[in-house]
Structure 1
Amino acid sequence: MIKFGTGGWRAIIGEGFTMDNVKLLSQAIADDMKAKNQTDKGIVIGYDRRFLSDKAAKWVAEVMAANGIAVHLINNIAPTPMIMFTVKKLGTKYGVAVTASHNPADYNGIKVFTEGGRDATEDVTRRLENRMENLHKEDIKSTPFEKGLKDGIIKLIDPFNDYIDTILSMIDTDAIRSRGLRILLDPMFGVSKSSLQTILLTARCHLDIINDRHDTLFGGRLPSPSAATLTRLKDIVTEKGYDLGIATDGDADRLGIIDDKGNFIHPNDIMVLLYYYLVKYKGWKGGVVRNIATTHMLDRIAKSFGEECYEVPVGFKHISSKMEETDAVIGGESSGGLTIRGHIKGKDGIFAGSLLVEMICSTGKKISEMLDTIHREFGNLYTVERDFKFAQEYKTELSDILFKQKRLPDFGYPVREVSYRDGVKVYFENDGWIVARFSGTEPLIRIFSEMPAEAEAKDVNVKMQQFLKLS
Structure 2
Amino acid sequence: MNSWEQAYQKWNTFQNLDVSLKARLDDLKNSNQALEDAFYKELTFGTGGMRGILGPGINRMNIYTVRKAVNGLANYLLANRVNVKDRGVVIAYDSRYMSKEFAVEAAKVLGYYGIHTHVFESIRPTPILSFAVRYLGSTAGIMITASHNPPEYNGFKVYNETGGQIILEEAEKIIASIKETADELSVPYLELEQLAARRLLTWVGKEIDNAYLERLAQITRMDPVILNKEKELSIVYTPLHGTGLDLVTKGLAQLNFPNVHIVKEQAIPDPAFSTVESPNPEEHQAFSQALVLGKQVNADILLGTDPDADRLGVAVLTKDNEYQVLTGNQLGSLLLDYILKRNDPVIYPNARMIKTIVTTELGREIANSYKVETIDTLTGFKYIGEKIHQFAATGETFVFGFEESYGYLISSFVREKDAIQAAVMTTEMANYWKQQGKTLLDALDDLYVKHGYYLEGLSSLTLKGKEGGQQITKIMETIREQPLKEIAGLKVEKVENYLTGERASMKDNKVEQINLPRENMMKFKLEQNAWVCLRPSGTEPKIKCYFGVCGNSREASKQKLAALQEKMEGIIAGIISQ
TM over 0.5, shorter chain:
yes
Please state whether the residue corresponding to 2:490 is helix, strand or coil.
coil
* 1:309 is the counterpart of 2:407: no
Give distance in 2, aligned partners of 1:407 and 1:202: 52
**Counterpart residue number, 2:53:** 12
Deviation at 1:425, TM superposition (A): 1.1
The correspondence of residues 276-291 of structure 1 with structure 2, limited to 5 A, is 276-283=337-344, 285=348, 286-291=351-356
- Which residue of 2 is the match for residue 458 of structure 1? 562
Q: How far apart in 2 are the matches of 1:37 and 1:371?
A: 46
Residue 182 (1) aligns with residue 280 (2): no
1:252-304 residue CA offsets vs partner (Å, 9 max, x unmatched): 00010011231101111111111111112223522321112110001111222
**TM-aligned CA deviation for residue 26 of structure 1:** 0.8
1:265 is aligned to: 326
Question: Which segment drifts farther, 452-461 or 358-367?
Answer: 358-367
Aligned length: 471
The Cα of 1:376 is off from its aligned counterpart by 2.1
Output the CA distance in 2 between the equivalents of 1:398 and 1:414: 21
Measure how far apart 1:409 and its partner are.
5.5
2:456 alignment counterpart:
383
Alignment of 1:49-64 (within 5 A): 49-64=95-110
TM superposition shift of 1:369: 2.4
Partner of 2:254: 202
Aligned pair partner of 2:78 in 34, 41, 45: 34
Distance of 1:178 and 1:232 partners within structure 2: 26
Q: Is the 8 A contact 1:426 1:435 kept in 2?
A: yes
* Counterpart secondary structure, 1:259: strand
2:47 touches 2:172 (CA, 8 Å); kept in 1?
Answer: no
Distance of 1:150 and 1:369 partners within structure 2: 60
Q: In the alignment, what sits opposite 2:546?
A: 448
**TM-aligned CA deviation for residue 141 of structure 1:** 2.1
**SS of equivalent to 1:229:** helix
- The answer to whether the aligner puts 1:434 opposite 2:507 as a matched pair is no
Partner of 1:339: 409
1:448 maps to amino acid: Y
TM-superposed CA distance for 1:314, in Å, is: 0.7
Partners of 1:21 and 1:408 lie apart in 2 by 44
Provide the secondary structure at the position in 2 that maps to 1:274: helix
How far apart are 1:384 and its partner, in Å?
A: 1.8
Query: How far is 1:352 from its partner?
Result: 0.8
> Relative to structure 1, is the Cα distance of residues 6 and 272 closer, same or farther in structure 2, using a 3 angstrom cutoff?
farther
Residue 236 of structure 1, CA deviation: 2.6
Whichever residue aligns with residue 362 of structure 2, its letter is M
Whole-angstrom distance in 2 between the partners of 1:148 and 1:65? 6
Q: After superposition, where does 1:212-231 map in structure 2 within 5 Å? A: 212-219=267-274, 220-226=276-282, 227-231=284-288
After superposition, give the CA deviation of every residue in 1:307-353 in whole Å (9 maximum; x if it has no partner): 22222111111122234445331111000111134331111001111
Structure 1 unaligned spans of 5+ = none
Which residue number corresponds to residue 167 of structure 1? 216
Distance 2:163 2:539 in 1: 21
Secondary structure in structure 1 of the residue aligned to 2:260: strand
| Residue type at the aligned position of 2:94 | D
Could you tell me which residue of structure 2 aligns to residue 370 of structure 1? 443
Do the aligned partners of 2:47 and 2:166 also contact (CA within 8 Å) in 1?
A: no
Residue 294 of structure 1: aligned partner: 359
- The answer to whether the aligner puts 1:244 opposite 2:314 as a matched pair is no
Is 1:419–2:508 an aligned residue pair? no
Aligned-partner SS, 1:252: coil
Structure with bigger RCO (C-alpha 8 Å, 6+ apart): 1
Query: Structure 1's 172 and 302: CA in aligned 2 closer, same or farther, altered over 3 A?
Result: closer
Change (3 A) 1:409 1:428: closer
User: What is the SS of the residue equivalent to 2:155?
Assistant: strand
Residue 78 of structure 1 deviates from its aligned partner by 0.5
Q: Is the 8 A contact 1:187 1:248 kept in 2?
A: yes
Answer whether contact 1:408 1:467 (CA < 8 A) is retained.
no
In structure 1, the residue matched to 2:26 is: none
What CA distance in whole angstroms lies between the structure 1 residues aligned with 2:115 and 2:51? 24
Letter in 2 for 1:256: G
In structure 1, C-alpha distance between the alignment counterparts of 2:398 and 2:527, rounded to whole Å: 27
Write the deviation string for residues 208-264 of structure 1: whole angstroms up to 9, x where unpaired: 211111211112422210223223223332343112111111100001001123110
- Contact kept? 1:409, 1:467, Cα under 8 Å: no
Structure-1 separation of matches of 2:399 and 2:94: 29
CA contact (8 A) 1:267 1:334 kept: yes
Equivalent residues in 2 for 1:325-364, closer than 5 Å: 325=391, 326-363=396-433, 364=435
- The whole-number CA distance in structure 2 between the counterparts of 1:454 and 1:121 is 37
Q: Secondary structure of 1:414's partner?
A: strand
Cα distance change on mapping 1:37 and 1:389 into 2, 3 Å: closer
Q: Structure 1 vs Structure 2: percent identity of aligned residues? A: 25
For residue 407 of structure 1, report the CA deviation from its aligned partner. 4.5
1:408 positional shift: 5.8
The structure that has the greater radius of gyration is: 2
Contact map agreement 1:2 1:129 (CA 8 A) in 2: no
**Quick check: 1:7–1:440 contact (8 Å CA) kept in 2?**
no
Question: Does the 8 Å CA contact 1:67/1:141 hold for their aligned counterparts?
Answer: no
**What's 1:130 paired with?**
176
TM-score, L = length of structure 2: 0.78
Q: Which moved more, 1:211-220 or 1:234-243?
A: 234-243
Query: What runs of 5+ residues in structure 2 fail to find an aligned partner?
Result: 1-41, 499-518, 551-556
Work out the CA distance in 2 between the residues paired with 1:295 and 1:343: 25
Match of 1:469 in 2: 573
C-alpha distance in 2 between matches for 1:287 and 1:106: 39
Closer, same or farther in 2 for the Cα pair 1:230/1:408, shift >3 Å?
farther
Give CA deviations for 1:341-380 in whole Å, capped at 9, x if unaligned.
4331111001111011122234524212221221221121
